[in-house]
Amino acid sequence: LMNAQAVRNYSNEFLNIGVDAAALGMSKAVVATANDVNSVYWNPAGLVGIEDYQGAIMYASYFAGIANYNYAAFAMPIDKESALGLSLIRFGVDDILNTTELIDSQGNIDFNRISLFSAADYALTITYARDLIFKDLHFGVNAKIVRRTIGNFANSWGIGFDPGIAP
């Protein structure tokens, strides 16, 4: 008999970094209490708590400035019972040296053949939240489009959905 082993999956790990300085300062313990524009990230149901147009932007530098994390979000109430939000996340490393063409077919090194490329992950999230018929219970859902690019070498697309309920 073979033992089953848990396999860790690191696909789209950039979506676990988090947004909002206040939420990160509370060690991400905001899922149940998020009720502003950043609910599009933490819990889509909390978005119904906004009363006016809201926006948020965030920038963070990782690995001694090698990687950059950018976040922008906008949310607005549709009526007294529902709200709509939109966010964009980019996590990327820019200006990576492409040295695959450094040596020509005769074995000569030509530094002019070095080019630059970026490796980046993107997530576009569209959020809808609504009050349920039960008193003080809200429902929300995110629809995500995820994009990964690695220069001209590779790229991919993905989609996902995240439901949420909040008091």
Q: pLDDT value at position 1?
A: 46
Q: pLDDT value at position 7?
A: 52
Please choose, from the candidates 77, 13, 7, 83, the residue with its C-alpha nearest in 3D space to the C-alpha of residue 45.
Answer: 83
pLDDT per position as a tens digit, 118-166 = 999 999 999 999 988 877 888 999 999 999 999 989 999 999 998 988 8
| DSSP result, 74-116 | EEEEEETTEEEEEEEEEEEEEEEEE-TTSB-TTS-B-GGG-EE
Residues 87/93/95/101 CA torsion (nearest 10 deg): -120
**Which tokens go with 79?**
């009526």
